[in-house]
Structure 1
Amino acid sequence: GAVLAAGGCEVDAVTLAAIVSGSVGEVAVFRRPVAAVVSTGDELADADAPLHPGQIHDSNRLALTRLLADAGARCEPLGRAKDEPGALRAMLERGLSADVLCVVGGMSKGTHDYVPQTLEELGVEWLVTSLKLKPGKPTRIGRSPQGGWVLGLPGNPVSCAICFLLFGAAIVRGLTGRGAGRPVMLRGVAQSDLPENGERPMFHPARWSAAAHGEILVRPHAWRGSGDPFVLAGANALIHRVAHAAATPRGEAVDFVPIGMPQ
């Protein structure tokens, strides 16, 4: 007989209709992976809490919860861990029971950045300890003793989101049976100038759309660096720029990773 749904395909609405129309009453599917999210840092406050001097809102926890769900995971936010080794260790130990543990912040080499060492003490083996990438240099990827994945993400909101979209989403997709794979790369026409790039490959937030004649248009967002928390608002693409890339004038081709539908 004909194959109604091949291994690795998503059982969406039309696939489900085909399965039912084929009088198939039961199919084997992958279990939806469980993801735990831990935010770190004494400076973080809840999204609806008033800010005191030196505080910022914990936007990463909310963003990651949504991004993990979009990738196919069931998310369990564990909360925020203070910059204190004992409290941090207890929360991370809980998170290691998940299929994917995402830890945000504490990945650099600051005085209060205990996360990598604490996870190592809990048996995590790091496969990646740094990325030659902008943004996202302090990103880490590892495996837990329980067999799960551990993703250490930068505390900067832009870096956190971009690194999850490039690496974390692929991990979750692999656990759902769809295959990890590399991000899809498309080519379009730059709608504004891009300056020359530095020594690290870069992913620049942008917005892509399709013109009436079928041409793909890519408009880079104005970006003041990873400290700009608003550059991803409205972005549905990440322009890939190789290390030491020359300036790209408007009208030239650029490669980009789509992170949303064209608009």
Structure 2
Amino acid sequence: MPQPSEPSDFRPTPKDKPMPLEQARARIVDTMTPIREHERVPLRTALHRVLAEKVVSDIDVPGADNSSMDGYGYAAADMAEDGGALEIVGESMAGHPYTGSLGTGQCIRIMTGAVVPAGVDTVVMQENTHAEGDRLVVAQRPKPGSNIRAAGEDIAAGATVLAAGSYLRPSDIAVLASVGVSEVCVVRRPRVAFFSTGDELRPIDGPIEPGEIYDSNRHGLAALLSELGMEGIDLGVVGDSPEALRAAFEKAAAYDAVVTSGGVSVGAADFVLDVLGEQGSVDFWRVAIKPGKPLAFGMLGNARFFGLPGNPVSTAVTFIQLVRPALVRMAGGHPAAPVRLDLPTLADLRKSPGRENFLRARLVTTDSGRLAVDPIDHQGSGVMRSMSTADCFIVLPAAQNDVPAGEIVTVEPFAQTIWGHPVD
């Protein structure tokens, strides 16, 4: 088990200046050490894993020149003009190549994917021909060399198919299968412990009393970690007491990362930062975003610690903007820069300068056929339904004031690339 970090005398105060989001994100990602432990897994189970080693092809793909369509193969020199005729001497099918070679004035029938035999340098589409017994009339000649896929056109033998650090998507699995790879070396999945804090939290499968709420954040974190391909370790709900937090932190320190929700502000029952300062270290604890300002980042033993705010939207926003890219880096991947669009807003936006705002919104197509963004009515940080009904953020810079309807704003869709492409 990793040993606890040196005790810290850190104690946050409300006067501590929040860190700008871009600075906080860069600072977090730069401190993440990619996991070095590797394992070999069958290709069929490698989806959403990160390659630990590059994959080099032993073969050409395709392995031989082949036809890109159904038609007839011949030597272009034998067809001087449209309407010429050739003798059909055989056929080449996918998996059943023509084994002979063509003489002057001859052609073969050839199917898509079939090997192009010696003497053929052009394939004419079947639709541009008509056959009369063993005689083929070419009504419309293609350009010489047309409709033939060269050996190694897709992947050449000795070429890197995927670089180390690649996040394996379904298309990547297919590419690896095309070069005969049956298993791959991947990075061990990060083990991420998570728990919620709060005496008011109750299990979702039982009743609640006045003043109590269902523990939704923990289920949201579990889903976010699962979607990211992490191994989540659910440590349950921890009460609002230093003793309970110390016990939870001691258990959580054995993992690669720890994500908590709640208890990171400066309220009377917020002890996360104090206990983290005792058992680990705090790098920073406030970020200039809304929602989500009270976010703590530090170390707990050898585990990276992320203390997220307790309001459900704040938990989701801070995970997406700060925790997710950090875990991608820890997993051996490369966090992709957020994809953002410039679109008009369909409603007025209220904004005071000071913090970067993430407003929940929906992408819509206007009557004129143009893309625009429509903000969700209720933007409270406790209204998780605003995240459920939205499909994007409207991102307003820290210095921004109110924005009238029709103005162009920055939009960050929820559905976008999270794992960037490594450079081999």
Is TM (by shorter chain) over 0.5?
A: yes
Map of 2:189 onto structure 1: 32
* Aligned equivalents of 1:130, 1:98: Cα separation in 2: 24
Higher RCO (Cα < 8 Å, 6 or more apart): 2
Task: Give structure 2 stretches of 5+ with no counterpart.
Answer: 1-157, 417-424
SS in 2 for 1:231: helix
Q: Structure 2 vs 1, CA of residues 28 and 224 (structure 1 numbering), >3 Å: closer, same or farther?
A: closer
What does 1:3-152 correspond to in 2, within 5 Å?
Answer: 3-123=160-280, 125-146=281-302, 148-152=303-307
Q: Structure 2 vs 1, CA of residues 229 and 27 (structure 1 numbering), >3 Å: closer, same or farther?
A: closer
Q: Give the structure with higher Rg (CA).
A: 2
Given candidates 358, 370, 383, the residue that maps to 1:228 is: 383
Count residues in correspondence: 259
Q: Structure 2 vs 1, CA of residues 95 and 216 (structure 1 numbering), >3 Å: closer, same or farther?
A: farther
Once the two structures are aligned, what percentage of the paired residues are identical?
36
RMSD: 2.0
Map of 1:158 onto structure 2: 313
Q: Structure 2 vs 1, CA of residues 214 and 65 (structure 1 numbering), >3 Å: closer, same or farther?
A: farther
SS in 2 for 1:92: helix
Map of 2:415 onto structure 1: 260
Q: Structure 2 vs 1, CA of residues 32 and 210 (structure 1 numbering), >3 Å: closer, same or farther?
A: farther
Q: Structure 2 vs 1, CA of residues 181 and 97 (structure 1 numbering), >3 Å: closer, same or farther?
A: farther
* Aligned equivalents of 2:367, 2:310: Cα separation in 1: 40
Question: Which stretch shows the higher mean deviation, 32-41 or 216-225?
Answer: 216-225
* Aligned equivalents of 1:29, 1:227: Cα separation in 2: 39
TM-score normalised by length of structure 1 = 0.91
TM-score normalised by length of structure 2 = 0.58
SS in 2 for 1:35: strand
Task: Give the letter for the 1:21 counterpart.
Answer: S
Asked if residue 237 in structure 1 is aligned to residue 392 in structure 2, the reply is yes
Task: Give structure 1 stretches of 5+ with no counterpart.
Answer: none
1:145-191 deviations in whole A, cap 9, x for unaligned? 31x21100001111111111111111111122221354332222212
Given candidates 173, 179, 185, the residue that maps to 2:334 is: 179
1:81-131 deviations in whole A, cap 9, x for unaligned? 1112222211121112221201111101112211111122222x2222111
Q: Structure 2 vs 1, CA of residues 93 and 215 (structure 1 numbering), >3 Å: closer, same or farther?
A: farther
Map of 2:360 onto structure 1: 205
The structural deviation recorded for 1:35 is 1.1
Contact 2:263 2:272 in 1 (8 A): yes
* Aligned equivalents of 2:257, 2:236: Cα separation in 1: 15
* Aligned equivalents of 2:216, 2:376: Cα separation in 1: 20
Contact 2:353 2:401 in 1 (8 A): no
Task: Give the letter for the 2:240 counterpart.
Answer: D
